């Protein structure tokens, strides 16, 4: 399709207009005429409109603006991390110990008056210095129980090692509770002990006195009468038991026979340690019969045990 430039169109339009002005007019019909300027304007407007319709439209160019700063796009502030200073380690004392266990004679042990015994502690060296043979175990206060004032170490004990420290003592002759306190002493004669401040003592605690003996039946001497019988039957056999106990209390017991019979439970009271007699009778046998039998005692309290049998034989006459 050909396109006409705007000046050529305008020239053609003006020429057409001038030609129309010289043409003969119809006298019978009076058509109102428009001024030439108006016609030219209308024609030019129409041509411009047609030209605009035929001209491709180019979209306007959009101006790209730089992005505006966002209120949320803020500059990151660096975080400063402060590392706390390491605490200064507490210096370990040169001489210090800690208690591990009582190897012998735990607190409150009953010991007969005048009895010699050995007390042993297990102590750990948790100081920074070795305990040499110049160190000592020393008595500090309380009852010495006839022990020495000090005992020298027999070997070196390095830090973090343990040592068993022993002392020979004697229980006082007077019954009662006794305790003695001990510490350690370094080669310079300075005493020290246990705990974080090395000022705690360790001790031995005993109870001196006659150790109470638990109540029990210690024996029952059994005899039968007669032991061997020959004669007319039936015959009565008498069993005698000599029951001995260790102290005061009540014994409960019953008799047990070789034929499987058991007696009713009986009781016997003792006011002190000693011996009391108990008896049991059994009538048995028939003409021409011979047999062996026995009787024993079951101690139901406090021992829960059987004691020795009393045995016998009988031979009945026909």
Q: SS in 3 state form for 92-155?
A: CCCCCEEEEEECCCCCCEEECCCCEEEEEEEEEECCCCCECCCCEEEEEEECCCCCCCEEECCC
Considering only residues 37 and 315, tell me which one the structure prediction assigns the higher pLDDT. 315
Residue-level pLDDT at 186 = 96
Alpha-helical runs (H) found in the chain: 6-22, 36-54
**125 CB-contact burial (10 Å; exposed 0-12 / middle 13-18 / buried 19+):** buried
Quick one: pLDDT band at residue 71, thresholds 50, 70, 90?
A: very low
Model pLDDT for residues 87-103, shown as the tens digit of each residue? 777 789 999 999 999 99
pLDDT digits over 183-237, tens only? 999 999 999 999 999 999 999 999 987 666 789 999 999 999 999 999 999 999 9
The 10s digit of each residue's pLDDT in 113-169 is 988 999 999 999 999 999 999 999 999 999 999 999 999 999 999 999 999 999 999
Asked if 138 and 192 touch (Cβ cutoff 8 Å), the reply is: no
Please give the pLDDT value at position 1. Answer: 44
Q: What are phi and psi of 153, to 5 degrees?
A: -65, 145
More confident residue, 28 or 242: 242
Mapping DSSP to helix (H, G, I), strand (E, B) and coil, where does residue 74 land?
A: coil
Residue 185 corresponds to which tokens in the numbers above?
């002493």
């Amino acid at each position: 399709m050909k396109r006409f430039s705007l000046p050529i169109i305008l020239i053609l339009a003006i020429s057409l207009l001038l030609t129309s002005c010289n043409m003969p007019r119809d006298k019978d019909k009076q058509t109102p005429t428009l001024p030439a300027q108006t016609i030219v304007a209308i024609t030019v407007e129409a041509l411009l409109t047609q030209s605009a319709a035929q001209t491709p439209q180019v979209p306007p160019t959009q101006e790209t603006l730089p992005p505006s700063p966002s209120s949320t796009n803020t500059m990151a502030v660096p975080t400063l991390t402060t590392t706390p200073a390491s605490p200064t380690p507490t210096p370990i004392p040169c001489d210090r110990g800690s208690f591990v266990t009582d190897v012998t004679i735990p607190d409150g042990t009953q010991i007969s008056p005048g009895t010699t015994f050995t007390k042993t502690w297990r102590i750990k060296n948790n100081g920074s210095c070795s305990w040499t043979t110049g160190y000592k175990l020393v008595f500090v206060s309380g009852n010495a129980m006839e022990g020495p004032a000090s005992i020298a170490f027999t070997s070196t004990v390095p830090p973090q090692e343990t040592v068993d420290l022993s002392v020979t003592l004697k229980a006082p002759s007077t019954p009662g509770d006794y305790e003695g306190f001990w510490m350690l002493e370094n080669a310079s004669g300075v005493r020290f002990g246990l705990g974080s401040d090395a000022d705690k003592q360790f001790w031995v605690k005993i109870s001196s006195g006659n150790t109470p003996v638990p109540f029990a039946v210690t024996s029952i001497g059994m005899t039968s009468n007669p032991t061997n019988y020959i004669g007319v039957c039936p015959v009565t056999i008498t069993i005698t038991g000599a029951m001995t106990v260790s102290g005061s209390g009540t014994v409960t017991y019953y008799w047990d026979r070789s034929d499987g019979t058991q007696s009713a439970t009986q009781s016997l009271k003792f006011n002190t340690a000693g011996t009391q007699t108990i008896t049991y009778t059994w009538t048995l046998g028939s003409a021409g019969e011979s047999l062996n039998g026995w009787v024993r005692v079951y101690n139901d309290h406090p021992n829960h045990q059987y004691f020795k049998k009393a045995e016998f034989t009988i031979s009945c006459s026909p």
